[in-house]
A and B are shown apart, each in its own frame.
Chain A
Amino acid sequence: MTPFGKGERWIGYGLLTLAVLLVVGPFVWITLQSFKHQIAIYTGAWIFTPTLDNYREVLFSRRSDFVSNVWNSVIVAAVSTSLVLVVGTLAAYSLHRLAWARWVALGFLAWTIFFHAIPVITLIGPWYIAFRQLGFYDTQFALIVTHLTINLPMTVWLMMAFFREIPPELEEAALVDGCRPVQAFWRISLPLAVPGLIAAGILAFIFSWNEFAVALSLTSRETATVPVAIARFAQQYEVQHSQMAAASVISTIPAVLLMFLGQRFVVRGLTLGSVK
């Protein structure tokens, strides 16, 4: 693209600053609210004495389950992400490398696209019935397997794209030298696909942490996750604005951390396949 001329540059940077402010503004605003007493929120004060009371109330008050909500979210996201990486990576490698018939590979991928395109709410009814029949309703297990399933398509596509970039000669050479198929996967392809594992892992963790509709329907008080807890603050008869703000700020921590630490991988994962 042509760089800006001298006069245009100021307009360009001006517009851009505006766009960045528009994106960041709401985050700054809610963070400010989370440090205000309820009364300061209601008066809309811009100058106020900051307080940690909202965070204290959300995290340590006896009436609040938020700490156990965070714990549920961490467990569900961590376990489902680990599992989806194992299941998804193996499947991606298998479909890419192990000579499945075309209709098997295409059929599976088409099905994952289809499943990914339909609203997950359409399946929540059958899931709800099945989990109640099996006694898994309101357990972490139910959330782990559903989140695993929801993240599987994305993981398989991402990992296939990463495996595709590995030159097949590497494995062929190893096989000729007496490497067994499992070793070729474990020692050669997998180490080269680590960037893909990181990208898929970050995205799967974030999606599971953020997931709301399934968590809302398959959990009750015991196993509610962070998004469900935030929604409870908003849905109560009297909306608890200050606590809702504090809980929301806490819920964004993983995203903010991963944005700085794993940005390279995330961008790659989000835009992969859209350019080619």
Chain B
Amino acid sequence: MQPKVALGAAEIAAPALSRPGPAARSGAYWLNRSFRWWSFLPAALLMAVLTLYPMVNLVWMSVSTIEFAQGRDIWSFTPGRNLDLLLSDRVLRHAFLNTLVFVVVSVAAEMVLGLGLALLVGRLTRGKGLVRTVMILPILVPPVAIGSMWKLMFNYDFGVFNQALMGLGIEPVNWLGSTSVALISVILVDIWHWTPFVFLILFAAVEALPVDVLEAGRVDGATGRQALRHIILPLLRPALMVAITFRSILAFKAFDEVYLLTSGGPGTSTELISLHLYKVFFEQNQLGYGAMLSLAVIAAIVAFLLVSRQALARSTAA
């Protein structure tokens, strides 16, 4: 036992550190003193170096032409050139329209199917757990594996869909190789992939619906349809808005499956913004022009976020 003589306030507060002298001030003391800083700094630095700096760099890149010679990057200042490339980019228009169709159609279908499924499962007395387990699977599996899965199923010669069609005596469809069908096929895969996600969000909300309110509606004689229209849907509105926002953003980012399924073809019929961006960067090696496109995409996303934030605020206030 050490003799205890005249403990200072610091020693009482921290018996573990009760060594006197400047040595105690250096280790654990500073660890506690600066806890606030060293706990937050790594995350802040990481975001600054790997997201903020690259975004600033995008601005410089967008007014430059960058070429690699002997492994080194050589920059030249050519602001007009990238703008010319932007104005003469014919694929961009197709990519924009395709992305718009892709996002609107797949998100709309996913919302309808997901909501229907959530309401259906909410009324089950048994088997909820099983349904939930199954629905998680498409969300966790690599999107690339989903792409290759559907690439096999869509195959013209031996895919399961054309087998079924031929079994019924109907002409086989060129799911991924025909300009009029390919975008629909790609959207189908997205709906299959992400309806479970919408379901999970809405199902959690359905399970949290206040029982007494639903009960009161029934006592007052509301029919099933009236209850849905005037009680359930208004209560689900915040969750619906969240699901729509999440899905729209994710659908806008879609890349993996489409890269696997069609790589944007045939022609430009399934070219999405993200695919186009990738090709500009890495197939055409236009790093400068790619940066300019990136900035345009980022600006569009910011606009969408601001609009949807207002819509979200309104829906939760109502």
**Pairing of A with B:** yes
Which residues of chain A have a CB within 8 Å of any CB of chain B? 1-4, 12-13, 15-16, 19-20, 22-24, 26-27, 29-30, 33, 41-44, 86-88, 90-91, 93-95, 98-100, 108, 111-115, 117-130, 132-133, 145-146, 148-149, 152, 156, 178, 180-182, 185, 206, 209-210, 212-213, 216-217, 226-227, 230-231, 233-235, 239, 241, 244-245, 247-249, 251-252, 255-256, 258-260, 263, 266-267, 270-271, 273-275
Of A42, A43, A122, the residue contacting B58 (CB under 8 A) is A122
**Hey, which bits of chain B sit against chain A, CB under 8 A?**
12-17, 28, 31-32, 35-36, 38-40, 42-44, 46-47, 50-55, 57-58, 61, 66, 68, 71, 73, 117, 119-125, 127, 130-153, 155, 157-158, 160, 163, 192, 196-197, 200-201, 204-206, 208-209, 214, 218, 224, 239, 242-243, 246, 249, 252-253, 255-256, 259-260, 263, 273-274, 277-278, 281-282, 287, 290-291, 294-295, 297-298, 301-302, 305
Sample of 12 A–B contacts (CB below 8 Å): A3-B123, A3-B124, A12-B120, A98-B39, A122-B58, A149-B50, A152-B47, A180-B17, A212-B255, A230-B260, A248-B144, A259-B137
| B120, B139, B148 — most chain A CB neighbours (10 Å) | B148
* Inter-chain CB contacts under 8 Å: number: 307
Find out whether the CB atom of B298 lies under 8 angstroms from the CB atom of A274.
Answer: no
Contact status B206-A1, CB under 8 Å: yes
Which of these, A3, A148, A244, contacts B152 with CB under 8 Å? A244
Q: Taking CB as reference atom, which chain B residue is nearest A175?
A: B13
Are the C-beta atoms of A233 and B153 separated by less than 8 Å? no
The answer on a CB contact under 8 Å between B253 and A120 is yes
* In the complex with contacts A12-B120, A43-B158, A119-B274, A125-B58 CB distance below 8 A: yes
The answer to whether A271 touches B206 (Cβ under 8 A) is no
Known: A43-B158, A133-B73, A180-B32. A245 touches B152 (CB 8 A): yes
- Given known pairs A1-B122, A94-B39, A212-B259, the reply for A122 and B298 (CB within 8 Å) is yes
Determine which residue in B35, B130, B197 has the highest number of CB atoms from chain A within 10 A of its CB, and name it. B35
A216 proximity list for chain B (CB < 8 A): 259, 278
B137 A227 Cβ-Cβ under 8 A: no
The CA-CA distance from A44 to B152 in the complex, in Å, is: 11
* Nearest residue, chain B, Cβ from A90: B39
CB contact under 8 A between A178 and B204, given known A100-B40, A126-B57, A230-B148: no
A27 to B61, CA, bound (A): 43
Query: Pick the contact of A90 from B40, B138, B242, B259 — CB < 8 Å?
Result: B40
In the assembled complex, which residues on chain B have CB atoms less than 8 Å from the CB atom of A43? Answer: 158
With contacts A119-B253, A121-B277, A125-B287 taken as known, whether A245 is within 8 angstroms of B148 at the C-beta atoms is: yes
Distance (Å) between the CB of A132 and the closest chain B CB?
7
Q: In whole angstroms, what is the CA distance A125 to B284 when docked?
A: 12
Structural contact, A263 and B149, CB atoms closer than 8 A: no
Other 9 A-B pairs with CB < 8 A, given A133-B73, A152-B43: A26-B150, A124-B281, A127-B54, A180-B28, A182-B31, A185-B39, A227-B142, A255-B140, A274-B242
